[in-house]
Each structure stands twice: as structure tokens, then as C-alpha cells.
Structure 1
Amino acid sequence: MLLVASTTLVQKYVGAATEYRPRWLIGFAIFAGLNKGIAGSGYGPVITLGEIISGVYEKSATAITSMAEGVVSLAGIAAFFGITAAGVEINLMLLPSVFAGGFLAAILSPYTVRALPNRALQYLVPGYALVLVVIPFAQIL
């Protein structure tokens, strides 16, 4: 993700025009799926940055990723109720905090993306992804 975020920032800083490349999206989808499967996180930033590098407008990329994560969240809720209905006990201690974070993000994210100018999002999205990469590296060192 460090390479993807850095490439996106350099691409926007240099001002290189990005034409739409739908085939690149397949590669980024595979990379994001592998990253999610191996590390358990990082799907959203990889997909969003992959879409931007592939030529998708920043606001559209953020909206597409939010919709995809929303569908996955609905599937997770259905699986949760299915597991509970099957009689498996689930620890509910983390449910309030996970719900509160997801709920607040679902409210604030669309407004923030709509309110911010695209020029700011061009640097904010990859910059935020870089921060997400640097923090774990800083904790390791």
C-alpha cells in the first residue's frame, strides 16, 4: 500500500493526466482481496487508490468503495444473524464500539467527500493512506 499511495501522490503532484484503464482495476481488486485475506485490513484504501490510479475521478472512487464496503457489511450482518440463529454463542462486548465507529463513518464520510473540493481529495486520500502505512511501521521500529 505504501507503493500505491506514493504513486498516487506523485502522479497528482506531477500533474500527469490519467486515462481510464479498466483492466488495471482487475489487478487492484486482486491485490486488495489478497491484502484483506492475508492482513485482515486495507481493502478500502487499496481499492480507492487503485481506482484513482486507474483513472477514476476521486469522488467517484470514494463513493464506489463506500458502496462496496456497505454491501460487504450487510453480508457480515446477515452472517452474524445466521451464526446466531444456528445456536453459536457470540461475544457481544465489542459490538457497541464497532457499531458506533461504523455508524459515525457512514454519516460523516459522504458529507465530507461532497463538501471537500476535488483538488483537496487528490492529496488527502493518498496522504491519509500513507499515514495508515507509516503508523504501523513506526510502532514496529
Structure 2
Amino acid sequence: MRQLTQRGFTIIEALVALMILSIAATAVMSVFAVGARQIESRTARYELYREAQSRLSMLKAEVRAAALAFDRETVVDGLKIREAAQLAQIAGGPEDPATLFEVAVFITDPSAENNRRVELSGFVIVEPAQ
């Protein structure tokens, strides 16, 4: 008599292999999903930062031209934008404190899940009119 040799897989073995493969694929996909969310979040923050830099540059030019203090809020494309310029008082500083302004831009994205916010500030020296 011939001896039978078993070849192939049983259904149980195939199901176990499929389950292990699906668990590994799920783990890999979740790592990719986390990475994609982080990239999206960083890209959105970078866009807010670029917008704040642009607005801060425009704000500095506006203060240099007009030398006025102000505080205003606007909403643009769903972003809350607050721009402020005020006289800066420095202890032991120049005799005429009106020549130094502190300018700031605050941009908040209320639609973001963690209410993303970017703040930039700087100083502007306004030369007295001659």
C-alpha cells in the first residue's frame, strides 16, 4: 500500500494566516494614518504661521506710515485675526517713547479640533517727522 502524504492547508490554517495578516495590515495602516494626520496638522500650522508673518509685515509698514495705536479683530476665511499696535514703554529707554511701537498678530482657527492658534509680535521704531 502506498502511504498518503498530506499537502496543502486546512481551512483553519488559512483562516489563522489571514487573521494574522489582517492584524499586521491594520497596524501598518494605523501608523500611516497617524503620520498623515501629523503632516496635515503641521501643514495647517505652517499656513497659519505664514499668514501671521505676512500680516505682521503689513502691520509694521502700516504703523511706520501712520504711527497710530490700534487693536482690531476680523474674520477671514473662518480664521479669527486680531492685530494690535501699541506704544511700548521701556524703562530707561529713549526720551520719546512714542517712537517705539509693539505690534502683534494673533490668528486662531476655531474650526480646528484643538482651536489652533499662532501669535507673532515685534517692535517698530517710528522716526519722528522732520
How high is the TM-score relative to the length of structure 1? 0.27
Instruction: Name the structure where strand makes up a greater proportion of residues.
Output: 2
* Normalised TM-score (structure 2): 0.29
